[in-house]
Amino acid sequence: MHTRHAPRTLGLFLTLGLISSAMPAAARDHTYNFRIDVDDERRITSCSDIEMRFGEEGDPNVVTQRRDRTLVVKAPGSGPLRVRPGERGGVRVQPSEDGGYSALVCMAAGAGNANDADAILDKIQVENSNGTLSVSGPEGDWAAYVVLSVPREATLDLSATNGSLSLRDVSGRFTLRTTNGPISIDGTTGVVDAEATNGPIKYTGHAGDVQLTTQNGPVKVTLDDAKWSGKGLDASTKNGPVKLQAPDGMSAGVEVHGSWYSPVRLNGMRYGPATQPGGSRWYRMGSDPVQIHVSTVNGPLDIRGPLAKASKGTVEI
């Protein structure tokens, strides 16, 4: 994952406020690399808020053509609305301003000249039927990004292959699955089940029934309130680092687990592997019953917050 501005990086974690992905051509048998940059900290009102580009910047041999389409979305009478943006596509979900469902579909195509790129765009199809909003197109270099505006208590099933999935300030029931892209969740309440196979997950909030799982990617959890409202949060990664940030005066119970050999940073202080192998590294904060679990296998821990004393029987730092 890459950024186009001076980075505010967090180690191996997501750059704050920006979802950016560059997809190599060699990995997908496409002619040109593709790059999309989406500012994750602001509401998307038009496709001009999103950068989509094929080829390297300044390459005179690649032309990127853009189009957009706005549509009223038909939500199913029961079950989730499924959104499938295509192989290189991503999805942003944000609150509706009129209480209904609508979608802004931002499309881009790359070719050696404008006419050929336009010919690719002509063949992209956006369909909304049988409870599914999908984008499909021809062989070639094209991509789509769906900005979905939804009412409160929406039920969504989002799936991407090489693109990002993002929830911001919405409520309802959400299932998110991506293979090679990031997931970002901010200010969202309700039930969230998010899974990435080869991508990072970033979460900010303090409410709901939240399950976050990634393989081969980092997890960053920012608790923005001392209390948790709802069932709780369970965030885990295999082969990835964990970063947890909690406010002073944290009252909701939080447990963080790592492998005994995991390097650890506690409030900026570095610690090496435990002196004795076996078991796990365990950290606790908050005085209330535990509602928040964060864990990693084969990854480092970076914890910032009011830590309690480690319990008896755990590997001490």
189 within some domain: no
Average pLDDT (15-41) is: 60
Decide if 169 is inside a domain.
no
Q: Region 129-156: what's the mean pLDDT?
A: 96
Residue of 239, 240, 201 lying closest to 220 (CA atoms)? 201
The whole-number pLDDT of residue 278 equals: 66
CB atoms within 10 A of CB 144: 27
Q: Same structural domain for residues 237 and 293?
A: yes
Count CB-CB contacts under 10 A for residue 265. 16
CA–CA separation, 6 and 17 (whole Å): 12
Please tell me the pTM assigned to this model: 0.86
DSSP letter assigned to residue 48: G
User: What is the average pLDDT value for the chain, to the nearest integer?
Assistant: 87
Q: Over the stretch 265-283, which tens digit does the pLDDT of each residue have?
A: 999 888 776 656 667 888 9
Residue 263 backbone phi and psi in degrees, to 5: -65, 145
Q: What is the pLDDT of residue 21?
A: 52
Residue 48: inside a domain, yes or no?
yes
**How many structural domains does the chain have?**
2
Buried b / exposed e along 92-122 (16+ C-beta atoms within 10 A): bbbbbeeeebebbbbbbbbbeeeeebeebbe
pLDDT tier, 161 (very low <50, low <70, confident <90, very high otherwise):
very high
Phi, psi of 122 (to 5 degrees): -60, -25
Is the pLDDT at 190 greater than 50, yes or no? yes
Q: Is 121 helix (H, G, I), strand (E, B) or coil?
A: helix
- pLDDT over threshold 60, residue 113: yes
Mean pLDDT to the nearest integer, 26-45: 76
Structural domain range at position 65: 24-152
Residue 55 has pLDDT above 50, yes or no: yes
Nearest Cα to Cα of residue 158 among 135, 189, 140, 139:
135
Check whether 288 has a pLDDT greater than 60: yes
In sign, the C-alpha dihedral spanning 8, 45, 92, 235 is positive
Same domain, 55 and 145: yes
Tell me: do 234 and 148 sit in the same domain. no
| 246 and 128 within one domain | no
In a domain, 185, yes or no: no
User: Is 187 inside a domain boundary?
Assistant: no
Do 298 and 226 fall within a single domain? yes
> Both 65 and 132 in a single domain?
yes
Residue written as tokens 């406010």? 247
According to the model, what pLDDT value does residue 15 have? 35
Give me the pLDDT at residue 32, please: 86
Are residues 148 and 210 both part of a single domain?
Answer: no
Nearest-angstrom CA–CA distance, 89 and 32: 15
CB within 8 A of 214, min separation 6: which ones? 183, 195, 196, 197, 199, 200, 201, 236, 237, 238, 240
Determine the average pLDDT of the residues in 160-178.
96
Same domain assignment for residues 29 and 139: yes
pLDDT at 276 (0 to 100): 61
- Residue 108 is assigned to a structural domain of this protein: yes
For residue 31, being part of any structural domain is answered with yes
Is residue 90 over pLDDT 50?
yes
Cα–Cα nearest to 145, from 247, 51, 71, 243: 51
pLDDT digits (tens, 9 = 90+) for 3-13: 333 333 333 33
If asked whether residues 210 and 305 sit together in one domain, one would say yes
Are both 144 and 204 inside the same structural domain? no
Which residue bears the tokens 């979608």?
103
3-state secondary structure at position 114: helix
For residue 273, what pLDDT is reported?
66
Band (314; pLDDT cuts 50, 70, 90): very low
pLDDT tier for residue 19 given thresholds of 50, 70 and 90: very low
Above 70 in pLDDT, residue 178? yes
The more confidently predicted of residues 121 and 78 is 121
